[in-house]
Amino acid sequence: MKFVLTQFLVFFSHLVSDVVALDRAYARPSITFANYTHGDFDNLYDNAKDMTILSQYAYVHAAMVKESEEEPASGGFMSRKEPTAETIEKRLQLLETATTIGEFLDYNEDDAFQTDKEGSVVKDSIEVVKTDLSEGDNIGRTMDSVVVAFHASKEDIKKSCVWSITKHEEQKRIVVIFRGTSNSGDWVKDALIFQKHVDNPAKNRANIPDKIGIHSGFANALLQDEDGPTGYVAKIMAELRPVLEENPDHSLFITGHSLGGAMATLFGFFVAASDDDIYVKNSPVRVFSVSSPRVGDKAFRDSFKQLEEEGRVRHARIHNARDKVAMLPYIGGLYRHVGLEVKLRFKGLEPRLDYPRYEGWTQHSKSVSYWQQITSSIDAVKFHGCSLVRQRLKLASEELKKTTLENEYLKMWGLSD
């Protein structure tokens, strides 16, 4: 009888949660906070908007690098549409001259580049950035960012690990940006369900497992290379560290769209778990993933939550309602989402904020099967792109400007109104 009553209460609570606002109290006696020099400079909307634009810039820059590495026309009839040697040289010069994101995007408008022909995702990215420029919505916050490093070699692209480091002096932030898949159909590959169990970088905490299960595609892209099981993570952290040393008053942000969002989540976890406190010197590592699939298993989720409670990481997981990529992979609960869900809804509905607060928690966003994902490409393209994310963020700006990412965590823990 007790079991039946318990099951009824769980079922009823799920029905109620779809109708009324969530009770976000999440009291955890283990919560501790480091003595950071500063917290959020910006409200949740401004940070989410900036990180969304940065995630799109990465697609454009990578397309520019790809075109600069093309072979020049040989002069034959079949090479009429290939770039000339002079065009290739001009592309290289423009890439070497640019220092800020705004300059890279301005040079992308030069006749030397044809990045709008690189596929629907790149074309969508260009439109997202152009719209932001034309609306004048705090464009200096992203366009004035200095590009410290950008890695989009053929080997990086082959490994699906294209990434950048940018710096913004006024905002006092360093941002690591991961590019997502460059073709609108590649999201299907993200639905593969196989896991790889890797050493848990947070395992020195109490009651934290030694191993975590990570989506094999994401693990192979970000972790495994010729230098070992954390090769790419180690390389990025090594390149990031001197940037933080040279800018001791800056905070670390990480972002990416789609596959890039999954990479941002995974990299943010490894950075926050590091014994080197330079990465969390001024504030938690702040991850803003956009339209990201799930990354890891329950052990990954529990380890991520532990780092959140230690004040080492914050994660805003932004996605459109009905974006099926954000529902994958699931497979009977084998994969778990992490961080604060920022679900952007339609028809003027306010955004929904949600968090995995307890073991029986069920995410508001439904899950779909691999077959459903493959057979729903139209919806995936429509709801997965950042044009719609940008539009819905703007519609939700009034609500999101009332809060910060840190404040939402405090609300979830019952530590703030």
Q: Which has the minimum average pLDDT: 29-38, 40-49, 231-240, 279-288?
A: 29-38
Which pLDDT tens digit goes with each residue over 337-365?
999 999 999 877 889 998 876 555 555 54
5 vs 176, higher pLDDT: 176
- Give a yes or no: residue 64 inside a domain: no
Q: Provide the residue type at 291 as one letter.
A: S
pLDDT computed for residue 243 by the predictor: 97
Mean of the pLDDT values across residues 357-379? 54
Mean of the pLDDT values across residues 72-86? 71
Q: Report in angstroms the alpha-carbon separations of 384 from 62, 188, 257, 321, 374.
A: 20, 12, 9, 9, 14
Mean of the pLDDT values across residues 6-11? 34
pLDDT computed for residue 128 by the predictor: 85
- Give a yes or no: residue 375 inside a domain: yes
Three-state DSSP at 92 gives helix
Mean of the pLDDT values across residues 234-239? 93
- Confidence bin at 254 (pLDDT 50/70/90): very high
pLDDT computed for residue 282 by the predictor: 87
Closest by CA position to 269, among listed 199, 207, 333: 199
Which pLDDT tens digit goes with each residue over 388-398?
899 899 899 99
Q: Give the span between the Cα atoms of 143 and 349, in whole angstroms.
A: 30
Q: Which has the minimum average pLDDT: 138-147, 250-259, 328-337?
A: 328-337
- Give a yes or no: residue 287 inside a domain: yes
23 pLDDT exceeds 60?
no
Q: Provide the residue type at 336 as one letter.
A: R
Closest by CA position to 147, among listed 186, 108, 89: 108
The residue segments making up the domain with residue 322 are 145-412
CATH number at residue 319: 3.40.50.1820
Q: Which of 118-127, 181-190, 297-306 has the highest mean pLDDT?
A: 297-306
226 pLDDT exceeds 60?
yes
Three-state DSSP at 355 gives coil
- Confidence bin at 279 (pLDDT 50/70/90): very high
- Give a yes or no: residue 72 inside a domain: no
Q: Which has the minimum average pLDDT: 31-40, 169-178, 236-245?
A: 31-40
b/e code 30-45 from CB counts within 10 Å (16+ = b):
ebeeeeeeeebebbbb
Q: Which has the minimum average pLDDT: 151-160, 210-219, 354-363, 366-375?
A: 366-375
- Give a yes or no: residue 46 inside a domain: no
- Give a yes or no: residue 165 inside a domain: yes
User: Residue 287's beta-bridge partner residues?
Assistant: 254, 315
Number of domains in the chain: 1
Q: Give the span between the Cα atoms of 322 and 382, in whole angstroms.
A: 9
Three-state DSSP at 354 gives strand
